[in-house]
Amino acid sequence: MKDTTKDTLRSDFEKMMRYSLQKNGDFGFNIFGDYATSVLNFYVGSSILALAEKRDAALFLANLYNAGIKNAIDQQDLQEIADVLAQDPTLNYQVLAPIFD
């Protein structure tokens, strides 16, 4: 995965996190999961991310989330989370709206 793709993933993740914290007071795992599946599928559909890179991007997002919760999730669980995120076909544009503001 290119550094520019990682930068985009990180930037959009941070926008979503800030929005969620302001609006909901938290950025819980359910919110993260909904966001991550939608953004990964949007990036693949927009050719920002190659399908072959989707799993690595899912792990990258999971690691960003984990860093924000003081690395409470162990590496084995992060791998499983990345697998689930990469396999989920959900694309909810309403969830993604905050990153386009």
Nearest to 100 by CA among 11, 23, 27, 4: 11
Question: Where is 41: in which H helix or E strand?
Answer: helix 29-45
Residues of the chain under the 50 pLDDT cut:
none
Q: Round to whole Å and give the CA distance between 10 and 35.
A: 13
pLDDT of residue 55: 98
C-alpha separations of 38 from 56, 71, 72, 76, 95 in Å: 15, 23, 24, 23, 7
Beta-carbon contacts of residue 48 (< 8 Å; ≥ 6 apart): 5, 8, 42
pLDDT of residue 3: 94
pLDDT of residue 101: 79
The domains of the chain are located at: 3-100
Contact by Cβ (8 Å): 40, 57: yes
Q: Round to whole Å and give the CA distance between 30 and 32.
A: 5
Q: Is the whole-model pTM more than 0.85?
A: yes
